[in-house]
Amino acid sequence: MRKLFKVVKSKTGLAADEAVLATAMVASLGAFLVVNVPWGNMFSAADAMQEQLQVIEQANAEFHERHRLWPHQTTSGDWRMNVSALVSPKAMRYPYNSMTSFKNYLSDMSKGYSPNGVRHDYGEGGSVMQRAVSYQGQDYIEVILEGVPLAEAKDLDTKIDGAYDPDNGRIYMIFSEESETVDLHYRANKI
């Protein structure tokens, strides 16, 4: 057995008991970091909102790919139901509400779904809506998040458009100067 430890020490520079001690120290340092890093602050609300908007944008594209219609073309035109058409066929008007090939495109967001529409949980929460709009000669599906905290909306605008500009870019906002929340508009799919 002593011969084995000499071989280990001569090749690695550490004896077996020293190697075990070094491994234990590295493991305890790793555990300390995992417990003490504020993981909740590493991903901002702007990151989560951007991901959610991209999920809706992708869902719109998949819906169009599958049905050759955009969600707003299958509803009565109610902005709340346009997003709901991605979750449930009940949001669509006849004959689209009887499609046998329907798929829930927003299964991760379905927890915020009710017959009145899809909801988000930023700040106090609010409705998620979408509609067709024109901007600079191009038609888009615009996703709207109602009641988003202003600070989070500013962060998202900066993240997506490169600078805070509440009137231009893919993100624009409707709010009053006294307001702490905004209706955030995101120009998503080109149609």
At 88-146, the pLDDT tens digits run 888 888 998 888 888 888 877 766 667 678 888 888 888 899 999 998 899 999 999 99
Alpha-carbon distances of 155 from 42, 85, 117, 187, rounded to whole Å = 14, 29, 26, 17
What's the confidence (pLDDT) of residue 7?
54
pLDDT in tens, 36-78: 554 444 557 888 889 999 999 999 999 999 999 999 999 988 8
Domain count, the chain: 2
Task: Answer yes or no: do 24 and 47 share one domain.
Answer: no
Task: Answer yes or no: do 24 and 92 share one domain.
Answer: no
Task: Answer yes or no: do 32 and 83 share one domain.
Answer: no
What CA–CA distance (Å, rounded) separates 166 from 174?
8
pTM, full prediction: 0.73
Q: Residue 19 is part of which domain span?
A: 2-37
Task: Answer yes or no: do 122 and 186 share one domain.
Answer: yes
What CA–CA distance (Å, rounded) separates 106 from 50?
15
User: Which is nearest to 172 in space by CA: 162, 181, 161?
Assistant: 161
Task: Answer yes or no: do 97 and 122 share one domain.
Answer: yes
What's the confidence (pLDDT) of residue 12?
60
pLDDT in tens, 146-169: 999 998 999 999 999 999 988 888
DSSP state letters, 142-183? EEEEEEEEHHHHHHHHHHHHSS--TTSSSEEEE--TT-SEEE
Task: Answer yes or no: do 15 and 98 share one domain.
Answer: no
